[in-house]
Amino acid sequence: MIKVVLVDDHQLVRTGIKMILEGTQDVQIVGEAESGEEAVALVKEVRPDVVLMDISMPGMGGLEATRKLLKAHPGLKIVVLSVHVEEPFPSRFLKVGAAGYLTKDCAVEEMLAAITTVYRGGRYIGVEVARKMAMRRFPDAQESPFECLSDRELQVMMMVIRGAKVPEISEKLFISTKTVNTYRYRVFEKLGVKNDVELTHLAMRHGFIEEADLTLGRLATETRG
């Protein structure tokens, strides 16, 4: 039996995946987390074989959570399950050690194949993700403007566009507010935007965030305030 932890900030998504996977004979859901921070604590407690990891979540996000989990648990297998098919996300996650990458509209059979493959020590890249990555090799391929960002800059950017304020980012990433602002201004400069609003609009145009996610992020910020 393959022990799996689900990490996604949308309860409906987790519930749907759980219903699908628990209907199989080979997979057991041993825990759920709605943030990177929760995932780090949960994995330490339940010791799963495989983690299904979302990217865009409150707090540190999926990329940093993946890095921390694999550092603490080298044998853990992480499969990214996200709406983001465009670069730089697939390459960044595979670079830090993720064993698989799928899109959320993948077939049930493909999700099960990915879990089984990585559990056995292999890698699994979804068909659409693999196609996108292969297309980058052509000379006339259009490069994502976000590929110029470092991992930390990308992490800060994702938190900003979800409505997190500088003090919150500072607390979640264990860096000073001055350092957070330094990363923000680097992102602005590299992407040619002037403020958080322009950054968010650019991210939305490239599918990094949906309007619904943006609204939820703002509501969460207002509630915390």
pLDDT digits (tens, 9 = 90+) for 119-172: 999 999 887 777 766 655 545 545 667 778 887 888 888 888 878 889 988 887
Cα–Cα dist 118/190, whole Å: 36
> Residue 102: helix, strand or coil by DSSP?
strand
* Whole-number pLDDT of residue 225: 45
pLDDT at residue 207, as a whole number: 63
- What does each of the 225 residues of the chain score in pLDDT, given as a tens digit? 999 999 999 999 999 999 988 888 889 999 999 999 999 999 999 999 999 999 888 788 899 999 999 999 999 999 999 887 777 788 889 889 999 999 888 888 999 999 999 999 999 988 777 776 665 554 554 566 777 888 788 888 888 887 888 998 888 788 899 999 999 999 999 889 999 989 888 877 776 665 434 433 443 444 344
- The pLDDT value recorded for residue 155 is 80
In the prediction, which pLDDT does 84 show? 79
Q: What is the DSSP letter of 209?
A: S
- The model carries a pTM of 0.72
Give the Cβ contact number of residue 156 at 10 Å.
26
Written as six digits, the tokens of 170 are 């500072």
Distance CA 136, CA 140 (A): 8
Q: Which residues pair with 81 in a beta bridge?
A: 102
Q: What is the pLDDT of residue 141?
A: 47
β-sheet bridge partners, residue 50: 4, 77
Neighbours of 48 (CB within 10 A): 22
Do residues 80 and 34 lie in contact, with contact meaning Cβ atoms separated by under 8 Å?
Answer: no
Q: Contact at 8 Å (CB) between 53 and 98?
A: yes
CA dihedral 77, 61, 133, 149 (to 10 degrees): -130
Please say whether the beta carbons of 36 and 61 come within 8 A: yes
CATH tag for 145-224 (out of 1.10.287.130, 1.10.10.10, 1.10.3720.10, 1.20.1260.10): 1.10.10.10
Q: So where are the chain's domains?
A: 2-135, 145-224
pLDDT at 210: 53
Measured between alpha carbons, how far is residue 161 from residues 129, 196, 216 in Å? Answer: 23, 7, 11
Q: What is the pLDDT of residue 218?
A: 41
Please, are residues 7 and 54 in contact by the beta-carbon 8 Å criterion?
Answer: yes
Q: Is CATH 3.40.50.1950 the right assignment for the domain spanning 2-135?
A: no
